[in-house]
Amino acid sequence: MPYESVDALQRALTKDVFHYAKDAKKAAGRALGTLVEIITFYLLKTWGYEKNVGIERRLPEYANPDITHNVEFTLHPSSLIYDVTIPKNRLPITSGKIIKEGGCPAWAHQVKHAQLLSSKSILKNACVLFEDHSRFAVACLGDPTGTSFPVRVCELLSHPFAVVECKRVGVEEGQGKGPQTIEKAKQGAYVARTVSSLQKVRMADGAMNGVIEMESGALRCEPYDKLLAEIVRSDSAAMIRDFILTVGVVSNHGNWFSKEDHNKELKVLAQSYDWLLFLTDLGLSEFVESLLVRPVQRNQPIRDAFVASYTGKKGRNCFTKVQIALDADRALQEYFAENVARIEGWFNVISPGERSIMDLKASLSALASKDWKDILS
């Protein structure tokens, strides 16, 4: 590994990139948190879920819509509305241009003002064109041709079938853990436990059971992993109508757990999310070394976008999960597509036990393929 730990990587970024910042270490830590989100997003994209993704959406608690939580990624049932083509000489690609080229759908008069691609070639991921209480429309940019940009517009149902959140907490120099570590873990755990109809109950012997209300009003209680697997496979509207698969992604070995034992924070998250993945130090270090520190020529746009985003000047960030320089996006998509098997190996499955990331991929596929319009009707 190019760096002996993520903490060493953070110190290197503090010295080489964030020297201008008043609190350089905190700035580097925040950038590492952004990288975890970008790695997670482009893995979802590579798995084929770009058309399903919502970013930074407010998600209501199960049966308690008065309380909502902002979450990084949600995966929604999606269906194609139309494909359009915008000439390259007509930048920016705005919601108005997309709607006009698509023949003005019924909700055209309610379209949001948004730019899928700016005049400076900054791409907005999961660009929302329209939204009401039950659905929203997003625009996704396809692979550009010599003269035009293909744009796909999809309708997503508001109720997601999965939520993915990223958690990383920096370590202060000379301390074992950051002061906000456990509080951030508890926040993530609370959201994971409250958004889905499948609830967790700890039994007296320490075992974790799942509880879900059936259509009759009766409560069904079984070992959690068994009930979770059955729900993912099920086509019963009563069982899956309000179910959301919760996935957490954490990073930084030194902070979350030692080699010998899980820290309290990791235990809190592992017992709350349906799936908890750990992005290894090796994976994060390889991403930084290969794409941001010493990239080959074809990946240089990734480094350029990263460096341009951290100059100390406001309003210049073009390297986040929400907005990213177009050439960096293209390079990232190619890198992930060519190296997806190795990138999947960057993640360790913390919970459920004895499962692999391929099992998670299969669960997401099973959920995405259900007839959600009929289920939610």
DSSP for 238-274 reads: HHHTT--EEEEEEE-HHHHB-SSSB-HHHHHHHTTSS
**Does the predicted model carry a pTM greater than 0.85?**
yes
Ordered by start, the domain boundaries in the chain are 1-76+159-196+244-377, 78-157
Are 16 and 3 in contact, with CB atoms under 8 Å apart? no
Residues 6+ apart with CB under 8 A from 7: 171, 252, 254
Residues 6+ apart with CB under 8 A from 23: none
Question: What confidence score (pLDDT) does residue 259 get?
Answer: 44
Question: What confidence score (pLDDT) does residue 255 get?
Answer: 55
Question: What confidence score (pLDDT) does residue 107 get?
Answer: 83
Question: What confidence score (pLDDT) does residue 20 get?
Answer: 67
- The series of mean pLDDT values per 10 residues for the chain, 377 residues long, is 66 72 72 92 98 97 97 97 95 94 81 95 97 95 96 97 84 50 87 97 96 94 97 95 96 56 80 94 88 92 90 80 97 98 95 94 98 94
pLDDT digits (tens, 9 = 90+) for 278-303: 998 889 889 988 998 889 999 999 99
Q: Helices (H), strands (E): how many in the chain?
A: 14, 17
Question: What confidence score (pLDDT) does residue 13 get?
Answer: 75
Question: What confidence score (pLDDT) does residue 169 get?
Answer: 54
Question: What confidence score (pLDDT) does residue 174 get?
Answer: 46
Query: Tokens at residue 49, please?
Result: 């879920």
DSSP string, 91-134: -SEEHHHHHHHTT--TTGGG----EEE-TT-EEETTEEEEE-SS
Question: What confidence score (pLDDT) does residue 261 get?
Answer: 57
Tokens 């060519």, located at residue: 338
Tokens 């098997």, located at residue: 341
Question: What confidence score (pLDDT) does residue 172 get?
Answer: 47
pLDDT digits (tens, 9 = 90+) for 220-238: 999 999 999 999 999 999 9
Query: Tokens at residue 334, please?
Result: 């190619």
Q: Give the 3-state secondary structure of residue 294.
A: coil
Are 112 and 95 in contact, with CB atoms under 8 Å apart? yes
What distance in Å separates the CA atoms of residue 99 and residue 109, rounded to the nearest whole number?
Answer: 10
pLDDT digits (tens, 9 = 90+) for 304-328: 999 888 877 776 789 999 999 999 9
CA angle 276/278/284 to nearest 5° reads: 150
Q: Compute CA distances 199 → 121, 242, 290, 318, whole Å.
A: 44, 11, 41, 39
**DSSP H or E segment with residue 154:** strand 148-157
Number of C-beta neighbours around residue 87 at 10 A: 11
What distance in Å separates the CA atoms of residue 244 and residue 195, rounded to the nearest whole number?
Answer: 7
